[in-house]
Amino acid sequence: MSYSLSFFSYNPSHKFTPPSSNLSKFSVSGERTKMLTHIDENNRPKMVDVSDKGVTTRIAVASGIIKMSREAFDAIKNNTGKKGPVLQTAVVSAIMGAKKTSELIPMCHPLLISGINCDIEELTEICAYKLTVSVKIDGKTGVEMEALTGVSVGLLTIYDMIKAIDKTIQITDIALESKSGGKSGDYVRSK
């Protein structure tokens, strides 16, 4: 199932006109049992109200991989790139990306994050680096989007800093690895 940008029709009164079917009663997989939380009963976008939710410790871990040429991989490893220390800059930008998630993704809540950890693993055999971001909060909503945004921004920073060396760079496998806490319980991605 895919959705086009015309999911909602434009009308001059600047109100959303819902499509003919009530998509808020369908999950992405097409099951009728789950509701999309960011769509109200009139199929209008909304930010979820978390005021009645309890505060719990929540942790989310996401990761992604950036693949490149041997020349670019070695430039990063040997710190010979013209734009400075690539991996250190990527860690800082991953942290900044996680912190600014609510400014980038409209329905995300601004959060008082407790901590962010980043780890970069060399994947020498495939000329790649794997970035893992872990985000923790004691709050009313999860931090999955913050972890995923941190990974995305960190990998994009690596891309930006080595694109002069390699035009074949690929960012792949960005995924939520695990989450804990909250109403929906724990999740661990199957390998």
Cα 60 to Cα 62: distance, rounded to the nearest angstrom: 7
Cα dihedral across residues 41, 45, 51, 56: positive or negative: positive
Does the annotation flag 68 for ligand binding?
Answer: no
**What does the pLDDT read at residue 127?**
98
Instruction: Specify the residue for token string 């985000």.
Output: 135
**What does the pLDDT read at residue 20?**
42
**What does the pLDDT read at residue 7?**
45
Cα dihedral across residues 43, 36, 153, 164: positive or negative: negative
**What does the pLDDT read at residue 66?**
99
Does the annotation flag 146 for ligand binding?
Answer: yes
**What does the pLDDT read at residue 30?**
54
pTM: 0.81
Does the annotation flag 71 for ligand binding?
Answer: no
Does the annotation flag 145 for ligand binding?
Answer: yes
**What does the pLDDT read at residue 5?**
41
Residues 155-177: pLDDT tens digits? 999 999 999 999 999 999 999 99
Could you tell me the residue ranges of all domains in the chain? 17-46, 56-188
Show which residues are catalytic: 160
CATH 3.40.50.300 describes domain 56-188: no
Question: What residues of the chain score a pLDDT lower than 50?
Answer: 1-12, 17-27, 32
**What does the pLDDT read at residue 145?**
98
